[in-house]
Amino acid sequence: MSLLLLFYLKVDPPGAVMKIFKADKQSWIHTAMLSLLFVGTSLFAFSLCGCSVTDVQDTVPRPVEVEESGEKIYITDQTGKQWEISHAVNKYGMQPENWQYGLGPNWFAPLILPKMRCPGDPGYPTGDDFFRNFSTDLVVGAEIKGDARAYPLAVLYNHEIADENFGGIYVAVAY
Amino acid sequence: MYSRVIDDKVLTLAASGWTYENTFVLYDRESESLWYHLRGEDGLTCISGDFKDRKLVEFPSTKTRWRFWKAEKPHTKFLKF
Protein backbone atom coordinates (compact mmCIF):
# COMPACT_ATOMS: atom_id res chain seq x y z
CA MET A 1 0.00 0.00 0.00
CA SER A 2 2.79 2.37 0.89
CA LEU A 3 4.65 1.36 -2.26
CA LEU A 4 1.58 2.27 -4.19
CA LEU A 5 1.35 5.64 -2.52
CA LEU A 6 4.99 6.20 -3.37
CA PHE A 7 4.26 5.36 -6.99
CA TYR A 8 1.30 7.68 -6.95
CA LEU A 9 3.39 10.44 -5.43
CA LYS A 10 6.12 10.10 -8.03
CA VAL A 11 3.71 10.26 -10.92
CA ASP A 12 1.79 13.28 -9.71
CA PRO A 13 2.95 16.56 -8.19
CA PRO A 14 2.96 16.50 -4.37
CA GLY A 15 -0.09 18.72 -4.40
CA ALA A 16 -2.25 15.80 -5.57
CA VAL A 17 -1.61 13.93 -2.33
CA MET A 18 -3.17 16.71 -0.32
CA LYS A 19 -6.31 16.49 -2.41
CA ILE A 20 -7.01 12.97 -1.14
CA PHE A 21 -7.43 14.20 2.37
CA LYS A 22 -9.83 16.99 1.48
CA ALA A 23 -13.51 16.27 1.87
CA ASP A 24 -14.59 17.27 -1.63
CA LYS A 25 -15.69 15.66 -4.89
CA GLN A 26 -12.17 15.67 -6.36
CA SER A 27 -10.81 13.73 -3.39
CA TRP A 28 -13.40 10.96 -3.84
CA ILE A 29 -12.29 10.46 -7.42
CA HIS A 30 -8.69 10.28 -6.29
CA THR A 31 -9.57 7.81 -3.58
CA ALA A 32 -11.48 5.66 -6.04
CA MET A 33 -8.59 5.71 -8.51
CA LEU A 34 -6.15 4.89 -5.77
CA SER A 35 -8.27 1.97 -4.59
CA LEU A 36 -8.58 0.64 -8.11
CA LEU A 37 -4.86 0.92 -8.65
CA PHE A 38 -4.25 -0.86 -5.36
CA VAL A 39 -6.60 -3.71 -6.23
CA GLY A 40 -5.14 -4.01 -9.72
CA THR A 41 -1.57 -4.06 -8.45
CA SER A 42 -2.41 -6.57 -5.73
CA LEU A 43 -4.03 -8.92 -8.22
CA PHE A 44 -1.06 -8.54 -10.56
CA ALA A 45 1.43 -9.21 -7.76
CA PHE A 46 -0.61 -12.17 -6.60
CA SER A 47 -0.60 -13.76 -10.03
CA LEU A 48 3.13 -13.10 -10.38
CA CYS A 49 4.09 -14.91 -7.20
CA GLY A 50 2.34 -18.02 -8.56
CA CYS A 51 0.26 -18.46 -5.47
CA SER A 52 -2.15 -21.31 -5.88
CA VAL A 53 -4.05 -23.91 -3.93
CA THR A 54 -1.70 -25.57 -1.48
CA ASP A 55 -2.55 -29.05 -2.74
CA VAL A 56 -0.42 -30.38 -5.51
CA GLN A 57 -2.88 -32.91 -6.93
CA ASP A 58 -4.66 -32.38 -10.20
CA THR A 59 -8.40 -32.43 -10.05
CA VAL A 60 -8.68 -33.56 -13.63
CA PRO A 61 -8.80 -37.19 -14.73
CA ARG A 62 -5.42 -38.47 -15.76
CA PRO A 63 -4.05 -41.86 -16.83
CA VAL A 64 -3.79 -44.07 -13.79
CA GLU A 65 -0.50 -45.74 -12.86
CA VAL A 66 -1.07 -49.49 -12.87
CA GLU A 67 1.34 -52.12 -11.69
CA GLU A 68 0.89 -55.86 -11.89
CA SER A 69 3.01 -58.04 -9.66
CA GLY A 70 2.22 -61.72 -9.93
CA GLU A 71 -1.47 -62.15 -9.15
CA LYS A 72 -1.80 -58.69 -7.65
CA ILE A 73 -2.85 -55.49 -9.36
CA TYR A 74 -1.89 -52.16 -7.86
CA ILE A 75 -2.81 -48.61 -8.72
CA THR A 76 -0.91 -45.61 -7.41
CA ASP A 77 -2.65 -42.39 -6.56
CA GLN A 78 -1.37 -38.83 -6.86
CA THR A 79 0.01 -38.88 -3.33
CA GLY A 80 2.10 -41.93 -4.20
CA LYS A 81 -0.06 -44.30 -2.20
CA GLN A 82 -0.59 -47.76 -3.64
CA TRP A 83 -3.93 -49.52 -3.59
CA GLU A 84 -4.30 -53.24 -4.19
CA ILE A 85 -7.35 -53.77 -6.37
CA SER A 86 -6.96 -57.34 -7.69
CA HIS A 87 -10.24 -58.56 -6.22
CA ALA A 88 -12.13 -55.51 -7.47
CA VAL A 89 -10.81 -56.15 -10.98
CA ASN A 90 -11.22 -59.93 -11.05
CA LYS A 91 -14.56 -60.30 -9.32
CA TYR A 92 -16.28 -57.01 -10.00
CA GLY A 93 -14.74 -56.15 -13.37
CA MET A 94 -13.52 -52.77 -12.18
CA GLN A 95 -10.82 -52.16 -14.79
CA PRO A 96 -7.74 -50.32 -13.50
CA GLU A 97 -7.89 -47.74 -16.33
CA ASN A 98 -11.30 -46.59 -15.17
CA TRP A 99 -10.22 -45.66 -11.70
CA GLN A 100 -10.06 -41.88 -11.82
CA TYR A 101 -8.51 -38.96 -9.97
CA GLY A 102 -6.62 -40.76 -7.20
CA LEU A 103 -6.59 -37.65 -5.04
CA GLY A 104 -5.48 -39.64 -2.04
CA PRO A 105 -7.23 -40.65 1.17
CA ASN A 106 -6.83 -37.26 2.82
CA TRP A 107 -8.33 -35.08 0.13
CA PHE A 108 -11.83 -35.35 1.55
CA ALA A 109 -11.67 -35.43 5.32
CA PRO A 110 -14.87 -37.03 6.61
CA LEU A 111 -16.94 -35.30 9.25
CA ILE A 112 -16.67 -37.44 12.36
CA LEU A 113 -19.45 -37.28 14.95
CA PRO A 114 -19.95 -33.60 14.09
CA LYS A 115 -21.77 -31.27 16.43
CA MET A 116 -25.41 -30.58 15.67
CA ARG A 117 -27.71 -27.70 16.50
CA CYS A 118 -31.08 -28.45 18.04
CA PRO A 119 -34.29 -26.48 17.45
CA GLY A 120 -34.02 -23.34 19.55
CA ASP A 121 -30.23 -23.33 19.66
CA PRO A 122 -28.53 -20.12 18.51
CA GLY A 123 -27.71 -20.35 14.82
CA TYR A 124 -30.34 -23.01 14.14
CA PRO A 125 -31.56 -22.23 10.60
CA THR A 126 -35.09 -20.95 10.19
CA GLY A 127 -35.32 -21.86 6.52
CA ASP A 128 -37.71 -19.01 5.83
CA ASP A 129 -35.60 -17.00 3.47
CA PHE A 130 -34.34 -19.10 0.57
CA PHE A 131 -31.87 -16.54 -0.73
CA ARG A 132 -30.34 -15.63 2.58
CA ASN A 133 -29.97 -19.28 3.55
CA PHE A 134 -29.05 -20.53 0.10
CA SER A 135 -26.07 -22.56 1.20
CA THR A 136 -28.09 -24.44 3.78
CA ASP A 137 -31.20 -24.97 1.72
CA LEU A 138 -30.33 -28.26 0.00
CA VAL A 139 -29.82 -30.96 2.60
CA VAL A 140 -29.47 -34.65 3.14
CA GLY A 141 -32.01 -35.63 5.76
CA ALA A 142 -32.10 -38.89 7.69
CA GLU A 143 -33.83 -40.23 10.74
CA ILE A 144 -33.24 -43.30 12.90
CA LYS A 145 -35.33 -44.10 15.95
CA GLY A 146 -36.70 -40.56 16.15
CA ASP A 147 -33.27 -38.92 15.86
CA ALA A 148 -33.63 -36.76 12.74
CA ARG A 149 -30.68 -34.90 11.24
CA ALA A 150 -30.03 -32.64 8.28
CA TYR A 151 -26.70 -31.98 6.56
CA PRO A 152 -26.39 -29.13 4.06
CA LEU A 153 -25.10 -30.43 0.72
CA ALA A 154 -22.81 -27.43 0.40
CA VAL A 155 -20.87 -28.63 3.45
CA LEU A 156 -21.15 -32.36 2.82
CA TYR A 157 -19.77 -31.72 -0.67
CA ASN A 158 -16.36 -30.97 0.82
CA HIS A 159 -16.28 -34.01 3.07
CA GLU A 160 -18.20 -36.63 1.11
CA ILE A 161 -18.93 -38.60 4.26
CA ALA A 162 -20.18 -37.84 7.74
CA ASP A 163 -19.38 -40.68 10.14
CA GLU A 164 -22.22 -40.52 12.58
CA ASN A 165 -24.08 -42.12 15.41
CA PHE A 166 -27.84 -41.74 15.28
CA GLY A 167 -29.82 -43.06 18.15
CA GLY A 168 -27.08 -45.56 18.88
CA ILE A 169 -26.67 -46.73 15.29
CA TYR A 170 -23.32 -46.05 13.64
CA VAL A 171 -23.83 -44.82 10.09
CA ALA A 172 -22.01 -43.03 7.33
CA VAL A 173 -24.01 -40.23 5.69
CA ALA A 174 -22.91 -39.90 2.09
CA TYR A 175 -23.12 -36.95 -0.26
CA MET B 1 -26.49 -43.50 4.19
CA TYR B 2 -24.84 -46.76 5.17
CA SER B 3 -24.25 -48.75 8.29
CA ARG B 4 -20.62 -48.62 9.33
CA VAL B 5 -20.61 -51.58 11.67
CA ILE B 6 -19.25 -54.97 10.67
CA ASP B 7 -18.71 -57.92 13.00
CA ASP B 8 -19.27 -55.58 15.96
CA LYS B 9 -16.47 -53.34 14.70
CA VAL B 10 -17.22 -49.69 14.03
CA LEU B 11 -15.57 -48.50 10.83
CA THR B 12 -14.59 -44.95 9.96
CA LEU B 13 -15.54 -44.53 6.33
CA ALA B 14 -13.98 -41.91 4.11
CA ALA B 15 -13.45 -41.11 0.44
CA SER B 16 -10.39 -42.90 -0.93
CA GLY B 17 -9.80 -40.13 -3.47
CA TRP B 18 -10.69 -42.49 -6.31
CA THR B 19 -13.82 -42.50 -8.40
CA TYR B 20 -15.02 -45.35 -10.56
CA GLU B 21 -17.67 -44.56 -13.17
CA ASN B 22 -18.28 -41.22 -11.47
CA THR B 23 -18.99 -42.83 -8.12
CA PHE B 24 -16.73 -42.34 -5.15
CA VAL B 25 -14.78 -45.34 -3.94
CA LEU B 26 -14.79 -45.33 -0.16
CA TYR B 27 -12.42 -46.97 2.25
CA ASP B 28 -12.38 -47.63 5.96
CA ARG B 29 -9.53 -46.18 7.95
CA GLU B 30 -9.27 -49.23 10.18
CA SER B 31 -8.35 -51.80 7.54
CA GLU B 32 -8.02 -49.68 4.39
CA SER B 33 -10.52 -51.98 2.68
CA LEU B 34 -12.26 -50.46 -0.29
CA TRP B 35 -16.03 -50.05 -0.28
CA TYR B 36 -18.13 -49.29 -3.31
CA HIS B 37 -21.82 -48.93 -4.12
CA LEU B 38 -22.19 -51.31 -7.05
CA ARG B 39 -24.69 -50.35 -9.72
CA GLY B 40 -28.01 -52.09 -9.33
CA GLU B 41 -27.31 -53.13 -5.77
CA ASP B 42 -28.08 -51.70 -2.37
CA GLY B 43 -25.51 -50.83 0.21
CA LEU B 44 -21.74 -50.82 0.06
CA THR B 45 -19.76 -53.85 -1.05
CA CYS B 46 -16.21 -54.45 0.07
CA ILE B 47 -14.41 -54.80 -3.25
CA SER B 48 -10.92 -55.17 -1.83
CA GLY B 49 -9.29 -55.82 1.53
CA ASP B 50 -10.07 -57.64 4.77
CA PHE B 51 -13.83 -57.60 4.32
CA LYS B 52 -13.90 -58.83 0.71
CA ASP B 53 -17.44 -59.31 -0.62
CA ARG B 54 -19.02 -58.30 2.69
CA LYS B 55 -21.75 -55.68 2.61
CA LEU B 56 -22.69 -52.63 4.62
CA VAL B 57 -26.45 -52.23 4.57
CA GLU B 58 -28.06 -49.04 3.33
CA PHE B 59 -30.37 -46.85 5.42
CA PRO B 60 -32.95 -44.48 3.95
CA SER B 61 -31.92 -40.87 3.55
CA THR B 62 -33.44 -38.03 1.56
CA LYS B 63 -32.01 -35.26 -0.55
CA THR B 64 -34.45 -32.43 -0.10
CA ARG B 65 -34.87 -28.77 0.79
CA TRP B 66 -34.39 -27.75 4.38
CA ARG B 67 -37.82 -26.21 4.78
CA PHE B 68 -39.56 -29.38 3.57
CA TRP B 69 -37.50 -31.58 5.85
CA LYS B 70 -38.08 -29.24 8.79
CA ALA B 71 -41.82 -29.18 8.14
CA GLU B 72 -41.88 -32.96 8.21
CA LYS B 73 -39.48 -33.37 11.12
CA PRO B 74 -39.77 -30.30 13.35
CA HIS B 75 -37.51 -31.92 15.96
CA THR B 76 -34.68 -32.31 13.43
CA LYS B 77 -31.14 -31.37 14.34
CA PHE B 78 -28.98 -29.43 11.90
CA LEU B 79 -25.27 -29.77 11.27
CA LYS B 80 -23.23 -27.14 13.06
CA PHE B 81 -20.75 -25.59 10.66
Residue-wise pLDDT for B6-64, tens only, equals: 999 999 999 999 999 999 999 999 999 999 999 999 999 999 999 999 999 999 999 99
ipTM comes to 0.97
| Minimal CA separation from B79 to chain A, in Å | 4
pTM: 0.75
Q: Are residues A98 and A120 located together in one domain of the fold?
A: no
Q: Is the pLDDT of residue A58 over 80?
A: no
- Which residue range forms the structural domain that includes residue B15? 5-72
pLDDT tens figures, A105-130: 999 999 999 999 999 999 898 766 55
Domain-terminating residue out of A87, A103, A119: A103
Q: Do A65 and A34 belong to one domain? A: no
Q: What is the DSSP string of chain B?
A: -EE-EETTEEP-EEEEEEEETTEEEEEETTT--EEE--TTS-SEEEEESTTTT-EE-B---EEEEHHHHHHH-TT-EEE--
Full domain range(s) for residue A125: 111-174
Is there a contact between A174 and B9 (Cβ–Cβ < 8 Å)? no
Nearest CA-CA distance, residue A67 and chain B, Å: 16
A7 pLDDT band, cuts 50/70/90, is low
Residues A170 and A117 in one domain: yes
The vertex-A149 CA angle with A144 and A155, nearest 5°, equals 135
Q: Please state the rounded mean pLDDT for residues A29-44.
A: 77
CB pairs under 8 A between A and B: 194
Domain match, A69 and A44 both: no
How many domains are there within chain A?
A: 3
Is residue B47 domain-resident?
yes
Minimal-distance CA residue of chain A relative to B35: A88
CB-CB under 8 Å, A141 with B76: yes
Same domain, A82 and A131: no
User: For residue A41, what pLDDT band results from cuts at 50, 70 and 90?
Assistant: confident
Residue A147: pLDDT over 60: yes
Is B29 inside a domain boundary?
Answer: yes
| Nearest chain B residue to A127, by CA | B67
Nearest CA in chain B to A128: B67
How many domains does chain B fold into? 1
